[in-house]
Amino acid sequence: MTSAPPLSRDEARALVTADLDTLLLEAGRARQRRFGNRVHLCAITNARSGSCSEDCAFCAQSAHSRAASPAHAMRAADELVRDAREADRQCVSCFGMVTSGRAAVTGDERARLLDALRTARGSMRACVSASIGALDDGIIAALKDAGITRIHHNLETSRRFFPRICTTHSYDERLDTVRRALAAGLDVCCGGLFGMGEEWDDRIDLAFELRGLGIRSVPVNFLNPVAGTHLAAQPLLDPREALRIIAVFRLILPDAHISVAGGRQVVLRDLQSWIFHAGASGMMIGNYLTTAGRNVDDDLAMLADLGLEPEGK
Ligand code: SF4
């Protein structure tokens, strides 16, 4: 069977005003054709939290925010490995260790993190990934040496909108890390955050940027405005608009995993199970970095009710 030609920008823009029911049907079928009834689950742990020098407007871990978010140095390696093994038991396909900060940790903290990544990788079925800020070739080599084959680094939004949400580093710096990791042969999980006040053109630009980079795993996050952050007063996305975002990404990126991550519960509410009909092929389970997630058993029961199965099972 020949695959459909890639969507053009004009075709993608037309989806923004297309009838939602028809769009969801098309996107859900595209997911089903590509991934059947298998879904990609992932989970994360916050290895080092808060006190970040950067001013990302959405982030409770930024030192520029007044959010009452937990701050702690790098946790002990055995705690991180315990979190990873727990997620492995919950059938995730990928588990991420995440650190706050602009660039990868250094010194003792780096050694502890690499130890945790190496130990987790060597003792579980799921892929282990690192989400540790901007990467240079040295830390990429160290990650590969620890057996890590995947990193996570979001672009967050379009090049045009990025300066509205962050002024302490540039879009090009984010792209540099993504390109560097890809060039080193790592898988890169790279997506964005929606509901920050961006326009549809920004969302579509991001999707095309990801397609141009050849990204195969795209986390879709929805803003859950946290008190004390610069975006605290931003209204929640309408759940139907969130579903449209998922569907548009599915159709622009037909072969990529589209995984719904942060903000799922607060934005989609009773429509959470619809994400798969909208074309999502995965979701994050468990807690997020600074906010609580849904009960994992409830999420697994939702998948069973939908006739879907974790690919890590
Ligand atoms: S998103 Fe990352 S870089 Fe930006 S403030 Fe938060 S922890 Fe720092």
* Confidence at residue 91, expressed as pLDDT on a 0 to 100 scale: 80
In a domain, 244, yes or no: yes
For the domain that residue 73 is a member of, what is the CATH number? Answer: 3.20.20.70
In a domain, residue 4? The reply is no
Atom of ligand 1 nearest to the CA of 60: 6
Is 89 contained in some domain?
A: yes
Q: From the CA of 171, how far away is ligand 1's center (Å)?
A: 13
For a mutational test of ligand 1's pocket, the pick from 48, 49, 51, 52, i.e. the residue with the most ligand atoms closer than 8 A to its C-beta, is: 52
Residue nearest to atom 5 of ligand 1 (CA): 62
User: What is the mean pLDDT of the segment spanning 117-122?
Assistant: 92
pLDDT at 271: 96
Distance 229 CA to ligand 1 centre (A): 12
User: Which ligand 1 atom sits nearest the alpha carbon of residue 102?
Assistant: 3
Q: Does any domain span residue 232?
A: yes
Give the model's pLDDT for residue 1: 46
In a domain, 1, yes or no: no
pLDDT-derived band at 142 (thresholds 50, 70, 90) equals: very high
Residue 103: is its pLDDT beyond 90? no
The DSSP-derived string for the chain is -PPPPPPPHHHHHHHTSS-HHHHHHHHHHHHHHHHTTEEEEEEEEEEEBS-BS---TT-TTBTTS------B-PPPHHHHHHHHHHHHHTT-SEEEEEE-SSB---HHHHHHHHHHHHHHHHT-SSEEEEE-SB--HHHHHHHHHTT--EEE---BS-TTTHHHH-SSS-HHHHHHHHHHHHHTT-EEE--EEE-SS--HHHHHHHHHHHHHHT--EEEEEE--PPTTSTTTTPPPPPHHHHHHHHHHHHHHSTTSEEEE-TTIIIIIGGGGGGGTTTT--EEE-S--SSS----HHHHHHHHHHHT-EETT-
* Residue range(s) defining the domain that contains residue 233: 9-304
- The per-residue pLDDT for range 196-241, each reduced to its tens digit, is 999 999 999 999 999 999 999 999 999 999 889 999 999 999 999 9
Q: How far is the CA of 245 from the centre of ligand 1 (A)?
A: 23
Identify the residues whose C-beta falls under 6 Å from ligand 1.
52, 54, 56, 59, 61-62, 100, 102
Ligand 1: nearest atom to the Cα of 50 = 7
- Compute, in angstroms, the gap from residue 160 CA to the centroid of ligand 1: 19
Ligand 1 centroid to 22 CA: how many Å?
Answer: 37
Domain assignment present for 2 = no
In a domain? residue 189: yes
Among 61, 65, 193, 221, residue to substitute to test ligand 1 (most atoms within 8 Å of Cβ): 61
Which among 54, 72, 169, 173 is the best mutation to test ligand 1's pocket, defined by most ligand atoms within 8 Å of the CB? 54
Ligand 1: nearest atom to the Cα of 65:
5
**Each residue's pLDDT tens digit, 260-306:** 999 999 999 999 999 999 999 999 998 777 777 889 999 999 999 99
Ligand 1: atom nearest CA of 169 is 3
Task: State the distance from the centre of ligand 1 to the C-alpha of 206, rounded, in angstroms.
Answer: 19
Closest approach atom of ligand 1 to CA 100: 7
Structure-model confidence comparison of residues 39 and 50, the more confident one? 39
Task: Give residue-wise pLDDT tens across range 166-176.
Answer: 999 999 999 99
Residue 309 maps to a domain? no
When divided into structural domains, the chain yields a total of: 1
The best mutation among 56, 169, 224 to test binding of ligand 1, ranked by most ligand atoms within 8 Å of the C-beta, falls on: 56
Average pLDDT of the chain, as a whole number: 92
Percent of the chain exceeding pLDDT 90 equals: 72
CA of residue 276 to ligand 1 center, whole Å: 29
